[in-house]
Structure 1
Amino acid sequence: MSLFRSSLLVGLGSVASRVLGFARDVLFAQALGAGPVADAFLAALRLPNLVRRIVGEGGLNPVIVPALSRAGPDEGATVAGDALSVFALALLALTGLVEIGAGLIALLLAPGLHDDGETLALVALYTRLSFPIVLCVTLASIAAAVLNGRGRFAATALAPLAVNGGLILTLVVLESGFDLPLVEKAAWLAAASTLAGLIQLAIVAAALLKGRSRLVRFRRPRWSPLLKSLLLAGLPVLAASGAVQIYFLAATQIASFWPSGVSWLYYAERVMQLPLGLMAGLSAGLLLPELARRYQAGERQALITAQNRALEVALLLALPASAALIILARPISTVLFERGAFGSADTEGTALVLMALSLGLPFATVGKVLSQTLFALGSLRMAFMAAGMGLVVTVTASLLLAWALGPTGIALGVSLGCLGHAGAVTLGLHRFGLWSPDRQSLSRLVRTVTATIVMSLGLLGARSTFPEPGPLMLAALCLGGFTLYALAALATGAVTRDDWASLTKKSSEPLRPDAGLS
């Protein structure tokens, strides 16, 4: 399958998942609002969602894909079976511990609720109901990494739709056929998330076991050096892959000290995650296997070239997305969330948080893309240290800014943490001699910035003409902004015809220094 078709499939799956996520969160806001029950529910979902987003965006690919690329088909199938068996046992034990200690975990997730025993008890209840999804999605992610490493992308791209689809179905049923208190609605949603995760695991498992040449073989696990390296690297890889998600977890803990702070941060993050999640899925699912092949083949310059071209594409998407979200934050929050239990004050708070988070979107994207090179090299220590640097910056900046700006200051702290993470990853690549932006990269960056400025001026003019756009006008603004940016990108040369031609080349072909993303 060509890289273009693979990219299209993974991209469509990511976009579809994010669109369903938007629909789900709109229904969340309508059903639960942004009060104490919503804070408890969203705080409880923060830990399962942290794991789901990390592994769902290919968080385990950096340790599994390079290992499988070094192993033959038979050995790879055996190692994959051992990894699934061992992780299943470990996750069962972890789930049991969480079910027992949910009260303590609730306090850790939302320390600002320590004086509100009733809300804290709800956090513990919802944690018990929703945490088993961690077992399902992690095993599904391992299976998906095996499929990606062997060039199969269909099931891995479509299976995550089951989680958001299941929650949407549950919300529709609860809102249309039952008149339940908010506490019970949230409990049903927490339980439904676990069931949806089980469906996702079943879809990926069916794809893994399909065909004559099975990609996984189960046996009694043996403590091989390769399995040992997978297990020892698992936690650092998850931490490094999910750096931004961990920053949001820390920010949620701080936001719990402000009324509705958890909810505002969650809803704003979900909007910001649409472009970021797309790039994360493409990076881990497609870029990482390519970089790993280049590294194993000793093609150092080709690896650097692939990294530069990937960064160009990432910024081509991230810069206009960041600008558009900042300019349209208020109408986006109004149209998506302001209905039912979600009031105008919640809209204003969510919009300010979204603007602050959108400032960090380009840096989060750069950190995600460049981290793939460190993973391909097997430099997990450097990737882990970079993630840790970003976390220190996030916590420090959030605490300092929160006292003056509240939840908006916390969001600014997350953006600064993303900047710190991207800077630390860049320094790590420079240390390995792999940070070498070429003239093409710098030229395209200037052209992308120019096209983004043109789009921003157009959106600002439209916003002054339509200060309070409704759903249709917001859709028109988004479509118009995208069209204007596309035309400006073509006019400035940020996108060329050669880029489309290069995308159709198969990923196994040698990468020319002047080629596009490979």
Structure 2
Amino acid sequence: MSLIRSSLVVGLGSVASRILGFARDVLFAQALGAGPVADAFLAAFRLPNLVRRIVAEGGLNPALVPALSRLEPHEAADVAGDVLGAFGLALLALTGLVEIGAGLLALLLAPGLHGDGETLALVALYTRLSFPVVLCVTLASIGGAILNLRGRFTATALAPLAVNGGLILALVVLEFGFSHALAQKAAWLAAASSLAGLSQLIIVAAALLQGGSGLVLLRRPRWSPLLKRLLVAGLPVLAAGGAVQIFFLAATQIASFWPSGVSWLYYAERVMQLPLGLMAGLSSGLLLPELARRHWAGDRQALVSAQNRALEVALLLTLPASAALLILARPISAVLFERGAFESSDAEGTALVLMTLSLGLPFATVAKVLSQTLFACGSLRAALAAAGFGLAVTVTGSLLLAWPLGPAGIALGLSLGCLGHAGAVILGLQRFGLWAPDRQIQARLLRIAAAVLAMSSGLLGAGRILPQVQAPALAALCLCGIALYALAAWMTGAVTRDDWAALTKKS
């Protein structure tokens, strides 16, 4: 399969999942609003959703792909079966502990609610109902990594749609089929998320076992040095691969001290995650296996060149997205979420948070792409150190900026954390002699910046003409912005015919 076809499969799956996620969150806002029940549900939903996003974006791939890629197919099938069995048992035990200790976990997830026993009890209830999704999506992610390694991308790209699709179905049924109090609606939604995760696991399992493909041998796990390394590395890999998601978890804990802070941060993050999640899925699903192959072939120059080209693509997509979110934050928040229980003041608060989050989007993407090189080379310690530094900057910046600026200050601290994370990853690459931006990427970055400036000028001008932007006008603005950016990118040379020819080459 050519690189462009593989990219389209993974990319379309990621985009479809994000679009369904948007629809889900629009319905969340309509059904739950941004009050105490919404804060309780979203605080509880944050942890399983964090794990789901990390593993859906290939968070375990850095540990699995390099290890399995060095084995013969039959050996890889044996090890894959051991990994699935061992992780399954470990996750079952973890789920049991969460069900027992949900009350304490609720206090850790939302410390700002410690004085509100009723809301904190709801956090514990929703945590118990939604946490089983972690078991399902993690095992599905391991299966997806095995499929991706063998060049089978369709099932892993489409399976995550089951989670958002299932939640949307539950929301529609609850909103239009039954009449429940807010707390009851949230409880049903938490339970529905676990059932939707089970459907995702079933889809991936069917693809793994289709026609006796021999991709995995299910059996009682056999302890081996390789399995031990994978289990020991599992948590650090998730932490390093899902650094930005962990930054958001820490920020949510701080935001719980502000009324509606958890909800505003959640809804703004969901908008930001559309471009970021797309790049994360492409990086871990396509870039990591390619970098791992070049690393084990000993071709350092080709590895650095692939890294630079991937960074060009990432910036080509995320720099205009960052500028557009900054400019259109208010109409986006109003059009997507301002209905039902979600009031105008909530839309305004969400817009301010989105504006400050958009500043960190390019840095989050740069760190995500460049981290794949560290993972491919087995430099987990450097990736983990970079994630730890970014988390420290996020917590410090959010605490310092929250008191004068409220939730928007927390979001600004998050953006600073993304900047610190990207800088730390680059320093890690320099240590290994793997950071060498060539003239091509420098020239491309200048052309991209010029195209983004042209697009931003057009959006600002249109915003003055249309001060009250409704859904049709927002859609028109987005389409015109995309068209203007595409034209400017072509005119400035940020995108050329040679790029298309390079993408369609066999991988």
**Per the shorter chain, which TM-score range?**
over 0.9
Identity %: 81
**1:17 and 2:46 correspond:** no
User: What SS does the corresponding residue of 2:236 show, helix, strand or coil?
Assistant: helix
C-alpha separation in 1, matches of 2:80 and 2:30: 42
Letter in 2 for 1:354: L
Letter in 2 for 1:182: L
Q: How many Å apart are 1:506 and its aligned residue? A: 1.4
Letter in 2 for 1:150: R
C-alpha separation in 2, matches of 1:336 and 1:468: 14
| 1:349 counterpart residue number | 349
C-alpha separation in 2, matches of 1:341 and 1:219: 50
Q: Give 5+ residue unaligned stretches, structure 1.
A: 508-518
Letter in 2 for 1:363: F
| 1:512 counterpart residue number | none
Deviations 1:74-123 (A, max 9, x none): 00000000000000000000000000000000000000000000000000
Q: How many pairs are equivalent?
A: 507
C-alpha separation in 1, matches of 2:393 and 2:454: 32
Letter in 2 for 1:311: L
| 2:78 counterpart residue number | 78
Q: How many Å apart are 1:243 and its aligned residue? A: 0.2
Alignment of 1:47-86 (within 5 A): 47-86=47-86
Deviations 1:118-174 (A, max 9, x none): 000000000000000000000000000000111110000000000000000000011
| Preserved contact between residue 268 and residue 353 of structure 2 (Cα < 8 Å) | yes
| 1:200 counterpart residue number | 200
| 1:227 counterpart residue number | 227
Deviations 1:328-348 (A, max 9, x none): 000000000000000010000
| Preserved contact between residue 110 and residue 253 of structure 2 (Cα < 8 Å) | yes
C-alpha separation in 1, matches of 2:33 and 2:184: 14
User: What SS does the corresponding residue of 1:472 show, helix, strand or coil?
Assistant: helix
| 1:182 counterpart residue number | 182
| 2:119 counterpart residue number | 119
Q: How many Å apart are 1:210 and its aligned residue? A: 1.1
C-alpha separation in 1, matches of 2:401 and 2:221: 49
Q: How many Å apart are 1:179 and its aligned residue? A: 1.1
**1:155 and 2:192 correspond:** no
| 1:46 counterpart residue number | 46
Q: How many Å apart are 1:226 and its aligned residue? A: 1.2
User: What SS does the corresponding residue of 1:211 show, helix, strand or coil?
Assistant: helix
Letter in 1 for 2:299: E
| 1:313 counterpart residue number | 313
Letter in 2 for 1:244: V
Letter in 2 for 1:290: E
Letter in 2 for 1:346: D
Q: How many Å apart are 1:177 and its aligned residue? A: 1.1
Q: How many Å apart are 1:213 and its aligned residue? A: 3.1
Q: How many Å apart are 1:224 and its aligned residue? A: 1.1
C-alpha separation in 1, matches of 2:230 and 2:216: 16
Instruction: Please report the TM-score for the alignment, with normalisation by the length of structure 1.
Output: 0.98
Q: How many Å apart are 1:311 and its aligned residue? A: 0.1
| Preserved contact between residue 14 and residue 157 of structure 2 (Cα < 8 Å) | yes
Deviations 1:227-250 (A, max 9, x none): 111111111100000000000000
What value does the CA root-mean-square deviation take over the aligned residues?
A: 0.5
Letter in 2 for 1:455: M
Q: How many Å apart are 1:436 and its aligned residue? A: 0.1
Alignment of 1:366-515 (within 5 A): 366-507=366-507
C-alpha separation in 2, matches of 1:68 and 1:89: 21
**1:272 and 2:272 correspond:** yes
C-alpha separation in 2, matches of 1:211 and 1:145: 19
User: What SS does the corresponding residue of 1:341 show, helix, strand or coil?
Assistant: coil
C-alpha separation in 1, matches of 2:476 and 2:219: 56
Letter in 2 for 1:209: L
C-alpha separation in 2, matches of 1:165 and 1:24: 8
User: What SS does the corresponding residue of 1:481 show, helix, strand or coil?
Assistant: helix
C-alpha separation in 2, matches of 1:189 and 1:506: 44
C-alpha separation in 2, matches of 1:397 and 1:220: 47
Alignment of 1:95-110 (within 5 A): 95-110=95-110
Letter in 1 for 2:91: L
User: What SS does the corresponding residue of 2:210 show, helix, strand or coil?
Assistant: coil
| 1:514 counterpart residue number | none
| Preserved contact between residue 9 and residue 153 of structure 2 (Cα < 8 Å) | yes
Q: How many Å apart are 1:377 and its aligned residue? A: 0.3
C-alpha separation in 2, matches of 1:432 and 1:137: 34
C-alpha separation in 2, matches of 1:351 and 1:373: 34
Deviations 1:435-490 (A, max 9, x none): 00000000000000000000000000000000111100000000000000000000
User: What SS does the corresponding residue of 1:216 show, helix, strand or coil?
Assistant: coil
Instruction: Please report the TM-score for the alignment, with normalisation by the length of structure 2.
Output: 1.00
Q: How many Å apart are 1:212 and its aligned residue? A: 3.8
Q: How many Å apart are 1:211 and its aligned residue? A: 2.7
| Preserved contact between residue 95 and residue 132 of structure 2 (Cα < 8 Å) | yes
**1:334 and 2:334 correspond:** yes
Find runs of 4+ consecutive structure 1 residues off by over 2 angstroms: none
Letter in 2 for 1:264: W
C-alpha separation in 1, matches of 2:67 and 2:146: 10
Letter in 1 for 2:76: G
Q: How many Å apart are 1:286 and its aligned residue? A: 0.1
Q: How many Å apart are 1:182 and its aligned residue? A: 0.2
| Preserved contact between residue 401 and residue 410 of structure 2 (Cα < 8 Å) | yes
C-alpha separation in 2, matches of 1:7 and 1:66: 20
Deviations 1:276-301 (A, max 9, x none): 00000000000000000000111100
| Preserved contact between residue 74 and residue 214 of structure 2 (Cα < 8 Å) | no
Letter in 2 for 1:390: G
C-alpha separation in 1, matches of 2:104 and 2:213: 46
Letter in 2 for 1:391: L
Q: Give 5+ residue unaligned stretches, structure 2.
A: none
C-alpha separation in 1, matches of 2:225 and 2:132: 29
C-alpha separation in 1, matches of 2:228 and 2:17: 33
| 2:216 counterpart residue number | 216
| 2:262 counterpart residue number | 262
| Preserved contact between residue 167 and residue 196 of structure 2 (Cα < 8 Å) | yes
User: What SS does the corresponding residue of 1:209 show, helix, strand or coil?
Assistant: helix
Letter in 2 for 1:458: G
C-alpha separation in 2, matches of 1:393 and 1:125: 32
Letter in 1 for 2:458: G
